[in-house]
């Protein structure tokens, strides 16, 4: 019988060095395993699309979110997601096939080997992102006092981080601070793909504007994923990169960085934030 997927936490023994002594202690680490994402259209065999290092758990959401945020599949183009029965036994739970409603046509000249630390930017430039992603227009506002509270609200849902201290988190919140979905992963981009994939596989109703909240920094690819998913507000505990700010400005995304201690910096489109509240 094949074992079940790896848990998100791995137990190890460490030698803890303390002033004047050392001792052996148990410790919990965030699990990191490869995940191969495959795609298949009707009457097609699975075709390898990407390999990413991730924390096991919510693999279907990760695969769906990746295909959607990379612009390879539309949100309504996914028929089903499952572990690949044809994979080698040792990779049975590290291979996911996304079944599509239309034929799968692999995109030319795309680089899809990713890592847990930096992810993948499949687009050559912001210009190409704009071709497949219309500029987002504000459809609501958030009080500034609510915006600066979102990282703390995200932190309350980081259950695996509490055990390991080694995971990123991404969450989608309403403008009133209500949590829609939160996922954790060893990779920032994976956590984002998981929450977006969750919205794709289990659509929620209500609320036009929603915020993507991150436990770390913001890169161009994160802004790209948010824009493609229609998330017009990105809130991050840490700093954005210059390309992230440029992309947010051009794609109509409100980007808030260094959101901590009741403060933040707004780098683009402050019109989504009610600054006096």
> What is the maximal distance between C-alpha atoms in the chain?
66
86 touches 35 (CB < 8 A): no
Looking at residue 19, what is its pLDDT?
A: 80
The active-site residue out of 118, 121, 133, 264 is 118
Residue 84 appears among annotated catalytic residues: no
Residue pLDDT, tens place only, 113-144: 455 444 444 344 455 555 567 789 998 899 99
Q: If you search the block for the tokens 């949100």, which residue do you land on?
A: 75
Residues 223 and 145: their CA atoms lie apart, in Å, by 23
Residue pLDDT, tens place only, 206-241: 667 899 999 988 988 899 999 999 999 999 999 998
Q: Which residues of the chain have pLDDT under 70?
A: 1-5, 15, 86-90, 109-132, 161-162, 164-166, 206-207
Looking at residue 132, what is its pLDDT?
A: 64
- The domains of the chain are located at 33-124, 142-274
Alpha carbon 111 to chain centroid distance?
Answer: 18
Strand, coil or helix: what is 189? helix
Asked if CATH classification 1.10.3720.10 holds for the domain at 142-274, the reply, yes or no, is no
Question: Phi and psi of 56, rounded to 5°?
Answer: -55, 145
pTM to 2 decimal places: 0.85
| Nearest by Cα to 188 from 215, 226, 153 | 215
Residues 136 and 102: their CA atoms lie apart, in Å, by 27
Q: If you search the block for the tokens 């600054």, which residue do you land on?
A: 275
Residues 217 and 253: their CA atoms lie apart, in Å, by 16
Q: With left for phi above 0 and alpha for psi between -120 and 50, is residue 8 left, alpha or beta?
A: alpha
Q: If residue 162 lies in a helix (H) or strand (E), which one and from where to where? A: helix 159-164
């Amino acid at each position: 019988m094949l074992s079940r997927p790896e848990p998100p936490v791995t137990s190890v023994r460490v030698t803890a060095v303390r002033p004047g002594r050392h001792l052996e202690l148990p410790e919990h680490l965030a699990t990191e395993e490869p995940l191969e994402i495959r795609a298949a259209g009707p009457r097609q065999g699975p075709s390898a699309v990407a390999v990413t290092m991730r924390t096991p758990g919510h693999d279907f959401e990760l695969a769906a979110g990746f295909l959607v945020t990379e612009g390879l599949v539309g949100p309504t183009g996914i028929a089903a997601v499952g572990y690949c029965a044809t994979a080698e036994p040792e990779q049975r739970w590290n291979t996911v096939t996304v079944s599509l409603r239309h034929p799968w046509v692999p995109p030319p000249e795309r680089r899809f080997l990713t890592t847990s630390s930096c992810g993948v930017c499949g687009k050559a430039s912001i210009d190409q992102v704009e071709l497949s992603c219309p500029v987002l227009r504000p459809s609501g506002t958030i009080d500034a006092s609510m915006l600066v509270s979102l990282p703390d609200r995200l932190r309350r849902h980081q259950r695996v981080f509490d055990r390991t201290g080694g995971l990123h988190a991404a969450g989608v919140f309403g403008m009133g601070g209500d949590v829609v979905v939160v996922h954790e992963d060893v990779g920032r981009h994976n956590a984002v793909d998981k929450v977006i994939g969750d919205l794709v596989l289990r659509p929620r109703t209500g609320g036009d504007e929603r915020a993507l909240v991150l436990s770390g920094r913001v890169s161009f690819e994160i802004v790209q994923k948010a824009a493609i998913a229609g998330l017009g507000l990105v809130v991050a505990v840490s700093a954005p990169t210059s390309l992230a700010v440029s992309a947010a400005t051009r794609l109509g995304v409100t980007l808030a960085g260094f959101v901590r201690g009741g403060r933040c910096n707004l780098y683009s489109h402050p019109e989504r934030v009610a600054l006096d509240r």
